[in-house]
Amino acid sequence: MRLATGGDMLNFGYWTKNTKEPIDAQNELCKIFGEFSDLKSATNIIDIGSGFSAPAILWKTQFSPLEITCVNINFNQLKQSSSRINESENSIDGINLLNSTSTSLPFPNESVDRILALESLQHVKHLENFISESKRILKKHGILAIAIPVITKKITPIVDLGILSMTWSSERYTTDYIKLLLIDNGFKILELQNIGPMVYDPLTNYYIRNRDDVKNKILSKYPSYVEKILFKSLQKIKQLSEKNVIDYVLIKCETH
């Protein structure tokens, strides 16, 4: 992802008719997700699975003042995040880095008003533990916002996903399953948006149009078979998106 885009974002991006580059789509998804999460009225937030903290820096710039804690189980990503934060223009007052699992969060009860999970919860095996922890540490009427790739129904992986049954190595949650967990844990779902057509199809189309350029970047560090698998996987993603087997959802819910 970083080789292909030249940036530190780790999401698929949100593509409009004016989007020209993947990094623009990735920034757009972060902006949309920040607005979707009502960050204008937030004071302290937790960014779950924060990657290289690029979304946190964008949100800090867009919605300052904010107190943001970037939670990441990957310590090496946090180290690189620290360098990026210190080099940024915001240098960065109000962004804290925490090496922690998302299913056992070291925060007091009812201590934060937003929890954001931007394209990270598909990597959480015990999703119910994360959701119960979120309920515990959110203030009353606090907001949990989720952006996540999903499948639309129960599937037979090898039959329905093809090559993605091997390359989609994270969890494959359905929207209904996520909604059920949220409701069972005392959340009220405020809004749900299906944005798959703005994510998968245009990303694949971009790759097809610019494959030679992207391929050269990938081949600078990886063998050719890696790029071939990536290309076939993206083609399959587009096919499954068009058949509505997979989607990408934004979910906003609050405690009550």
Q: How confident is the model at residue 229 (pLDDT cuts 50, 70, 90)?
A: very high
| φ and ψ at residue 138, rounded to 5 degrees | -80, 140
Full strand arrangement of the beta sheet holding 246-255? 95-99, 67-72, 44-48, 112-118, 138-151, 246-255, 187-194
User: Percent of the chain having pLDDT more than 70?
Assistant: 98
**Cα–Cα nearest to 17, from 205, 193, 192, 149:** 205
Take residue 218 and report the two structure tokens written for it. 């990938």
* pLDDT tens figures, 129-144: 999 999 999 999 999 9
DSSP state of 195: -
8-state DSSP, 72? E
Q: Tell me what the pLDDT averaged over the chain comes to.
A: 92
* pLDDT value, residue 89: 55
Quick one: pLDDT at residue 250? 98
Measured in degrees and rounded to the nearest 5, phi and psi for residue 248 equal: -135, 125
pLDDT of residue 4: 81
Cα dist. 210→21, 112, 206, 213 in Å? 10, 43, 6, 6
Tokens of 123: 């990597």
Contacts 24+ apart (CB under 8 A), 77-80: 77/50, 77/51, 77/52, 78/50, 78/53, 80/52
Q: List, in sequence order, the alpha helices (H) in 185-223.
A: 200-209, 211-219
Average pLDDT over residues 69-83: 90
Q: Give residue 159's pLDDT.
A: 82
Domain residue spans of the chain: 9-198+246-255
Q: Give me the pLDDT at residue 143, please.
A: 98
Please, which pLDDT band fits residue 90 given cuts at 50, 70 and 90?
A: very low
Q: Point out the least confidently predicted range of 51-60, 111-120, 136-145, 185-194.
A: 51-60
Tell me which CATH code domain 9-198+246-255 carries: 3.40.50.150
Q: What is the pLDDT of residue 94?
A: 86
Q: Is the pLDDT confidence value at 45 over 90?
A: yes
Instruction: Dump pLDDT digits (tens) for 146-164.
Output: 999 999 988 777 788 899 9
Does residue 228 register a pLDDT over 80?
Answer: yes
